[in-house]
Amino acid sequence: MRWRFIAARFPVPDVQVRVPAGGRARWLDIGWHEERVGAEFDGQEAHMTPQQLRDDRHRHNWLTEHRWTLLHFTKADVYREHRQMLAVTARALGLRPGSWRS
The CA distances from residue 70 to 12, 67, 98, in Å, are 17, 10, 23
Measured CA to CA, the distance from residue 90 to residue 36 in angstroms comes to 13
User: Whole-number mean pLDDT of the chain?
Assistant: 91
Q: What is the pLDDT of residues 32-81, one digit of tens each?
A: 999 999 999 987 666 678 888 888 889 899 999 999 999 999 999 999 99
